[in-house]
Structures are given as C-alpha cells and as structure tokens.
A and B are shown apart, each in its own frame.
Chain A
Amino acid sequence: MNDRQTLGSARQTTDAAASDSTTAPAGTAASARRPLWLALGGTALVVLLALLPLLAIDIPGVLPGPTYTPGTLQLLAYAMLIAALALSYRMMFGLAGLLSFGHALFFAAGAYGLGMALDAFAPVEWPSELIFLVSIIVTLVAGLVLGATVGALALRVTGIAFAMVTLAFAQAGSVLIRRNPGGATGGDEGLALDITNVPDALVGVMNTRNLYWVALGVLVLVYLVVLWVEKSRAGHVAEATRENELRVRVLGIRPYRLQLLIFIVASVLAAVAGMGYVLLQSGATPRIATVDFTLNLLVIVVLGGVGYRWGAIVGGIVYTLLDQRLTALAGSDAIAALPDVLRIPLSEPLFILGTLFILVVLFLPGGIAGIPQRMRTGRKQHPAEAEETADA
C-alpha cells in the first residue's frame, strides 16, 4: 500500500529467509535442550527471589534499602504483583491480540472483592481461617462471572471497537467504586482492609516478608497458568487467530469461544493479583480501577516486549522501580533547583514514562526483552506486525 511498509517487510522477509537457512540445523539441536535450561534457570531465579528477605543485598539507586527491610520488600512485592497482572494482560494482548482497555476492572474486582467479602462475612460464627478461605473463593467466582460477562459482550466486536467497549465497562466499574454504593467501597477514600479474619501472619509491617512470599507465589502461579494456556491448543488457536483470523475460520474453528476462554482466564488471574494487592497494601484505592491504570499496564507490557512472556515481568518490575525512583527524584533538591522548563517535566514521573513509552513504540518495537534478539540479528521485527499487514 505504501512504499515504506513495503520496503520494511520485504527486508524483514529476506532476513528471515537467510537466517532460517543458515541456523536451522544448529537451531533444532539447541532447542531440544533449551526448555530444560530455561526451567532450571527459572527455578533458580525463583529460589533466589524467595531467599531475598533473608539476605542483605543493597543496590543503591535502584532499591530504597537492603533487601531484608520491610520498605524494600514491600516495593518488590508490589512490583511482582504488577508483573503478575502484566503477565495476565500480555496473555490477552500479546498472545491473542485482544487490545483491552479494561483489564484494571478485574484487578480492582479482586482487590475490592476480597476486601468487601472479608467485611461482609465478618460477623459469621465461623473460624476466621474458613472465612478467609471462603472470601477468596467468593472473590474468584465473582471475578470469573464478571470476566465471562464482560468478555462475552466485548468480544462481539473486534479490534479497536473491542478496546473501546472494554474501556467503557472498566469506566462503569470505576464510577461504581467511586460512588461508594452502600458504603461498600469507601468511595474516593478507598477501602481499608478489615483484618479481623485475615491470618495474623499476613498482617503488619513485621510480616511484610510473608506478604512478599505471597506475592512471589502469585507471580509464579500466574506464570505457570499463562504458560499452560499458551502451550495448550486454545493458546495456539488464539495465536493463529491473531495472525490470520480468516485462515482459522476456514478451518472451521470459531475463535470467539477460545478468545472468550482466554479473556476469562486473564480476568481471573488479574483478580488473583488484585487479592494479593489488597493484602499487601492493607486496602485498595479507586485509582486501581481507572482507565489510566490499564493504560499503565499497556505501557508495561509494551515496554517489556509484547512478544515475550518474561517481557511482561521485566516490564512490570522495571516500571514499578522506575516509577518509584522517578518519584523520589522528582522530590530531590537537584530537580527543585532547575529552571521551570526542565523542572516541571522532570518532576512528573508519568511524563517521563509516557515519553519513554512513545520512544519505545517508535524505535524499539521488541521492547526491553527484544533487545538481545535485535542485537543478534540486527533486524527490526515486531510480533504484532503480521496482523497489521493482514488487514492492509
């Protein structure tokens, strides 16, 4: 359709063909061993992360203090929950190509759902462990029902219209939370967690390390579920649908159900991350239900690299740390001394992140996780490109 695109994709294909022919024999031998190495490396990383609260690693400038301090653990736990949420979002956007602007709704549903359930079940004559467990199950079921309802409606349209519809539903959720119906959500003030029936081990600053482990557990759980979905038949079909919906339809498969399935799984996973969040923060604020919160998720996933599972994790952690450090930087004397033209933009973390995001989209289509690949092959490639040429 235009010369720029034509040249770009032509170059890309010749490169791909060239690399295929040279690396294919070596690649097959190596790829047989790769999953094992990845699994081992991943396990080692998880073990290392699990041991962090017992160690005293200090990375000045990146972490606010040594790794055993509650402040640092709190930040890391928050980053891991955001990474888990980003992973669930990537499964929809990166794998199935569903650009949702409403994912925050399900995170908020998990956070507010657990908070409100714990509140509602408080007077019952049950042991508090049971109440805690039942509240979690109730929240999961609520997340499932919500995801199924919104997904079933939103998936009636595709592409950009789908994005708009999910955005509208999330906005409704956001408005509802701010309205504070029956005093259940706490309105603009936010919801304070009722700790009566929360296990003691998960309450208080001294127990931050336990919450950290919970967050790590959530991240690992979400990762495994996402991995399982991606490797399943549903995942493959969803991926194929993203690349070429027509071809999938010709094979007699209706992508709607599989897309809905993925939408629901992603929603429930987001709710799980939300439950971790409400425990970690001892409450929830309406901010987590806003469209801006979803947009930040989108930034995280693209920043990390849409084409890579671990991109979402890297993105989530980098983004959270960057946001935290930029906020600290904004309040620093060095910034305050600058003239207005520099001071105002530099004291707004979101301005810097937003600008960074634009630059990544324009110049680094693979995101952070795509950098090694780019350095190896020196070519531009973006996973979402195929679907773009399909509708051209």
Chain B
Amino acid sequence: MSAPILTVRRLSGRIAGQQVVENVSFEVPATGVTALLGRNGVGKTSTIRSILGLIDRTGEVTLDGHRIDRLPTHRIVQQGVGYVPEDREVFGSLTVGENLRLAERDDRPRRDFVAQLFPDIHDRRAQRAGTLSGGQQQMVSLARALVNENRLLLVDEPTKGLAPKIVDEVAVALAEAARTVPMLLVEQNLHVIRALADRVVVLSGGRVVFTGEAADLLDDEDRIQRYLGVHDADAAAEGSSR
C-alpha cells in the first residue's frame, strides 16, 4: 500500500478548555474512503475540526508527508483539503452561485463537473441558499468542496437529517467524488458506510479503539453493537434521520 495521504498522531482538541479529542492517532490511505465511526458525542466532528485547526489542537498532523498542525485553517485548506462540514454551513444570505464562487480557489475551478454532478443546484444558482431544502443545501456544501481539485476530502455527516431518497443521491455523489480523491468520512448511516467505506476507524471515549477493513467491522454484529451501540443497520438509519 502506498504512503497515507493523512497521518494523525496523538491529536488532542479542546473547546473552551474542555478536552473533546484525546490523543487520537490514525491514518487515511491515499485512495478510497475511510470512515470515522463511533457513538454520538464521541468526538468525530471535533476530530475533523481539530485536523482543520477550527478548534484548539495539539499533536502531529501531516498531509502527504508535510506537517499541517501548525498552520491556520485557511492555509490547510489551500494545501488541497476539501471540507464538507456537519450541518452543511452554507451561507444562507448568499445565493447558490455566490456560495460556489466563494469556494473556488483553483485557477480553473471545475464548474462543469459540479454542474453535471448537481444539475438541480446548477439550475438554482440565483436562489438564496437559505431558502433551499436541507438536501439541496447538502448538495451546495458538497459542490463547494468538489469545485476544486483536492488531495483529501473531509466529509462530516453528509446524510444527517435527510430523507432516504436524498440520502441515496448524496451517497451517489460521494461515490463519484471518491473515484478521484481520498476521503475521510464521518457517517452514522450504516447503509452509506457499507456502500462507500473501504476502511474504518472507530472512536470511543475520544480514543481510537478499532482500525481496519470496513468489512471486518460491518460483518461482525458484535463489534457493531460494542463500538457503535446499534443492533443493526436499520437502527442506525433510523438514528441518523432523527
């Protein structure tokens, strides 16, 4: 296997003086989808935000062999890290087109690619993003990341709170994106994980408790129960559409 695109060593994160990520270490391979899993509130989102420097962090993070843990967020992203945040965080007062233009950092942004991937969003360029449905906002958020060539995508709960049909659409878009760029994916929905993930990293109590092939975890009912606190895939799907 080739060298990992992202390595995380002894990463700790803190919000308002409170430890939310504790001494986490894992790697993201240079191809495919790595799913970051764990029960609610275990620090998955905080781990992603720590990697990006959006919260106070200590530890060592390297992107393609270069340290990024001392860089401010915007410099990390400029290194080729695309970010799709939890809760989408589109700019509601801006139009869809403005949201996308704001995200363009390459000289030749992949506007056509994004337009093909999300035709619905392309048609709504002039609409204010705040008036879109949750699913459409998620498409905008994905499109913002995909409009640039990235070396790594950090995608945080892209199907949270979406209707099953929209979940499928998002999963298709993610699969399309994953063909060209490695991805670290936080996801609750086991269907989506099954469909997309090659490898999994499981957090518990702020620490990594399992790393391995996705199949090793997903085919093991006992491990799923132990690490994720769900009985089967359906319960997971229910939990995520709350």
Contacts and interface: CB of A to CB of B under 8 A. Distances in A.
Contact of B16 (A6, A10, A244): A244
Interface string A3-18: 1011101100100000
B71 A3 contact: yes
B17 A1 contact: no
Q: Main SS of chain B's interface residues?
A: loop
A389 interface: yes
Interface in B68-83: 70-73
Interface bin, chain A: 10 to 19
B141 interface: no
Contact of A5 (B15, B56, B70, B71): B56
B57 A1 contact: no
Question: Which of B54, B56, B57, B71 has the most chain A CB within a 10 Å cutoff?
Answer: B56
Contacts of B53: 1-3, 6
A13 B14 contact: yes
B73 A13 contact: no
Contacts of B16: 243-244, 386, 389-390
A386 B56 CA distance: 13
B7 interface: no
Given A389-B16, A390-B16, A10 B56 contact: yes
A6 B55 CA distance: 8
Q: Main SS of chain A's interface residues?
A: helix
B58 interface: yes
B182 to A, nearest CB: 25
Contact of B56 (A6, A243, A244): A6
A147 B17 CA distance: 34
A389 B15 CA distance: 7
A1 B58 contact: no
Interface string A233-244: 000000000011
A102 to B, nearest CB: 29
Contacts of B17: 13, 386, 389
15 contacts: A1-B54, A1-B55, A1-B73, A2-B72, A3-B53, A3-B71, A6-B57, A10-B56, A10-B58, A13-B17, A244-B16, A386-B16, A386-B17, A389-B56, A390-B16
Interface of B: 14-17, 53-58, 70-73
